Amino acid sequence: MGKPTGFTEYKRMAKKRIEPLERIKNFNEFYIPLNEETRKEQAARCMNCGVPFCQSGMILNGMATGCPLNNLIPEWNDAVYKGNLENALSRLLKTNNFPEFTGRVCPALCEAACVNGRDGESVTVHDNELYIIENGYKNGLIKPNPPKVRSGKKVAVIGSGPSGLAAADCLNKRGHHVTVFEKSDRIGGLLMYGIPNMKLDKSVIDRKVDIMREEGITFNVNSDVGNSVNAEKILNEFDAVILCCGANEPRDINVKGRDCEGIYFAVDFLTANTKSLLNSGFSDKKYYNPKGKKVVIVGGGDTGNDCLGTCIRHGAASVLQLEMMPKPPTERTENNLWPEFPRILKTDYGQEEAISVFGADPRIYKTTVKEIISEKGKIKKIKTIEVEFKNGKLTEIENSEKMIEADMMIIAAGFVGTKKYLPEAFGVELTPRSIVKTDESAFATNVKKVFAAGDMHIGQSLVVRAINEGRKCAKEVDVFLMGYTNMI
């Protein structure tokens, strides 16, 4: 513990954001880092608790709280305060393959479980993590470190999202020959095309992938296993196969008028947007352009917020978000006590921008789509209806219909499982939730030498949980290949 009184002396100070009306002018990351001395003070607020809930990775009442990777948070906070950033980096990388990703996109489950946050404000764990890894890159501490001994075993990883990259990284460091197959034109999966650039600049992904490539991992893009690449051939050529293809089958809304033009799934909207940005700076016009349009986003979660921020940057005339759930409270309720993840109102960057541009919070609660009205085959209006949950069942409220004008609708209602053609190509069984079936807390499928990890294994979740899945799966694969493992 660097400074026993630090949490009483220093107030929480998170990194600042560029003002909304300025940052919406481009798709760049918009956070302003704190200076070195202030960052040390923020690290000094860590109390090095006897029981550090921040790194617990617990599931309480069905929700994760504390870091799923069990990051050694008090240790590297102490090192940051003392100015020993090389040691801080060493301790951080002990448990997290990609802090440059989680330090940008993780919702900070660690901070939700911070003891400081029980009666005050939690430590800026999320920001401290990003500071450590970026300082490591800045000072040349992040270098390719290929394994000195190879096992001769070959592993195929299908999918290059966070779980696939984590599994590949761990197994390569162990000395196995790893080949990653990605169906898209760039490595990164969800990180590349499911998260907009202002939230995670794609150069950050490329920077890390370049290092992994120098360490010996082979990356094959435009390789759609189960379609353009034969699954049986991969089974024959590799000693183990890991399926890390996500749970990216979008949940649709089945209402009258759904088949008209101008309606897009969020994953397609965000993918096309990022791809066009990277390929041409939008000059190729190969994206769904909301400029000047009245946009309605169905879904109030993180993905809906990302669509909201994207629409605002393109100059949408208006943007509304429909959310079926009631408006959350501003403070914890009696049935949501610490250290559970707080079920409270969060105004994210997209909503903050919408308030600045349009003068009001874009979210409409307890509301869903009843019907879509079109004109000449294109969406024109949306009939909404208010809903509530009674005895666990979603119920419409009588006489609550309203009409909303809309030129574009984006469906950000989550996902219903993995796309089935890949597991079918390998003969892998799925559960009723359309995720890969394995024994509890294990990763081996019903097909010998085929494993699964990430959202494809647990359903739609967080990047940090996907990384944890990839690491754990890599250990199981290592035991399968070698008879034992020395992975942490």
Strand partners, 318: 294
Residues 175-199 have pLDDT tens digits of 999 999 999 999 999 999 999 999 9
Residues 141-172 have pLDDT tens digits of 999 999 999 999 999 999 999 999 999 999 99
Residues 331-341 have pLDDT tens digits of 989 999 899 99
Average pLDDT, rounded, for the chain: 96
DSSP 26-81: SSS--EEPPPHHHHHHHHHT----SS-GGG--EEETTEEES-TT---HHHHHHHHH
Give pLDDT, residue 4: 86
Across 225-317, the runs of DSSP E, i.e. the strands, are 240-243, 263-265, 294-298
pLDDT over 90 (residue 427): yes
What percent of the chain has pLDDT above 70?
100
Region class of 69: left (phi > 0), else alpha (psi between -120 and 50), else beta: alpha
Residues 231-252 have pLDDT tens digits of 999 999 999 999 999 999 999 9
Give the type of residue at 353: E
Give pLDDT, residue 1: 63
CATH: 3.40.50.150, 3.50.50.60, 3.40.190.10, 3.40.109.10. Which one for 154-248+416-482?
Answer: 3.50.50.60
Sorting pLDDT into bands at 50, 70 and 90, what band is 369?
A: very high
263-272: average pLDDT = 98
| Nearest Cα to Cα of residue 164 among 137, 191, 143 | 191
Give pLDDT, residue 357: 98
Give pLDDT, residue 23: 98
pLDDT over 90 (residue 48): no
**Hey, what are 139's tokens?**
């000072």
**Do 6-138 and 154-248+416-482 fold alike per CATH?**
no
Domain positions in the chain are 6-138, 154-248+416-482, 263-411
261-289: average pLDDT = 98
CATH: 3.10.180.10, 3.40.50.1100, 3.50.50.60, 3.20.20.70. Which one for 263-411?
Answer: 3.50.50.60
pTM: 0.96
pLDDT over 80 (residue 2): no
426-446: average pLDDT = 96
437-444: average pLDDT = 94
Give pLDDT, residue 62: 83
d(CA 333, CA 330): 9
390-412: average pLDDT = 95
52-78: average pLDDT = 93
The answer to whether the Cα torsion of 277, 283, 285, 288 is positive or negative is: positive
Residue 424 burial (CB count, 10 A): 12
pLDDT over 90 (residue 200): yes
Residues 451-484 have pLDDT tens digits of 999 999 999 999 999 999 999 999 999 999 999 9
What percent of the chain has pLDDT above 90?
92
| Nearest Cα to Cα of residue 113 among 339, 344, 346, 333 | 339
CATH architecture of 6-138: Orthogonal Bundle (1.10)
